[in-house]
Structures are given as C-alpha cells and as structure tokens.
Structure 1
Amino acid sequence: MTPLIKALSTLALVLVLGGSALAQEYVKGEVVKVDAKQQKLTIKHEPLTNLDMPAMTMVFVVAEQGLLDKVKTGQAIEFRADRVNGRITVTDIK
C-alpha cells in the first residue's frame, strides 16, 4: 500500500469515527422517575438530534447501573443517549 493510500485511509477512518462521536452530544433534561430495579430513567428532555427525536418525556434504559446512582427524581441533568442493541439508552450523565 502506498503512503498516500495509507494516509487517505487513516483520514477516512478518523472522519467516520469522529463524526459519530460529534453526533452524540449532551442534552438537557429533568429526571421524572428513577426505576433502579428495572435500570430505567424517565426523563423530560430537549430534542435528541442524534436520534431525530423531538422534546418529550420518555423512559430510557441506562447503559450501566452506576448512572442511576448519579441522579434523583426532580434533578436537572445533561445526558447522552443513543441506540444500543436496538434500545434507546442513556450512555452518560454529567
């Protein structure tokens, strides 16, 4: 493989990976309900542009149990959500 082809391949990979990371941004919301047993959060949120969803209140599964420890009902949060195994999932909370 020539150096030019290697460089272009690397650049293409960086753009693809970087683009997907940029698409997933933090969204403001308010925790309406915490269901630790089912590992779910009900969140009233702003539009989720990466998922093409309008602002609404909906139930999300969480990617890991530790995310539930960060929140309580009525708390304002900023979070990331994405499709994971076909389910809309909260992947991070700050």
Structure 2
Amino acid sequence: MFLTRWGLDQVADSAELALTELVANVVRHVPGRRCSVLILREPHGLRVEVADGVAGPLHAKVAAPEAEGGRGLVLVEGVTDRWGVEEKGDGKTVWFECDA
C-alpha cells in the first residue's frame, strides 16, 4: 500500500481496515453510494476523512452477538487513535487518525 512509501508502515494495516469499514458504511447506507476520501499525512501520523451527502450522527455501539452487522464503527474505534463525525450542511465527514 502507498502508506509504506510515506514511512507509515506501523499504521498501514489499521488505517486500511478503518478506511474499508467507513467505505463499506457508505456502500450500505448512502443512496447512490457516493463519497469522497481524503488521506492526509500529518506530523503525528495519518488522518483519513470519508465525506458523504447524508446528514446524521453516527455512534459506535456494540451489536448483538447474532447480528450480521453493526460492528464497523466499534472496529474503527478499536484500531485507530481517534475518530469522529463532523456534520456539514447536507452531509457528514467521518474521520480517523492513526499516530505513527
């Protein structure tokens, strides 16, 4: 992955997994499945943002053991150092940071 070229080997797996989960949420919950992804190299490590056109808060919650989904944001919370949601007009941006 391109993160290794940036010297971010130690966060590449976590960032890849978290990004996959956020994009999967777009595929499941956003009409038209459209989003934009921004990956930023920061002094402390890496910041990734996934923006879509659907407003609404997101919360990490533990799904019932028999549930087929509902664990994505808990996983993002577990593999990143920070994450959050910023509501923007007609949509939102979900972001996470991984410290190098």
**Do both proteins adopt the same fold according to a TM-score greater than 0.5, normalized to the shorter chain?**
no
| Greater relative CO, 1 or 2 (CA 8 Å, sep 6+) | 2
Q: Which has the larger radius of gyration?
A: 1
- Quick check: which one's helix share is greater? 2
- Quick check: which one's strand share is greater? 1
Normalising by structure 1, we get a TM-score of 0.27
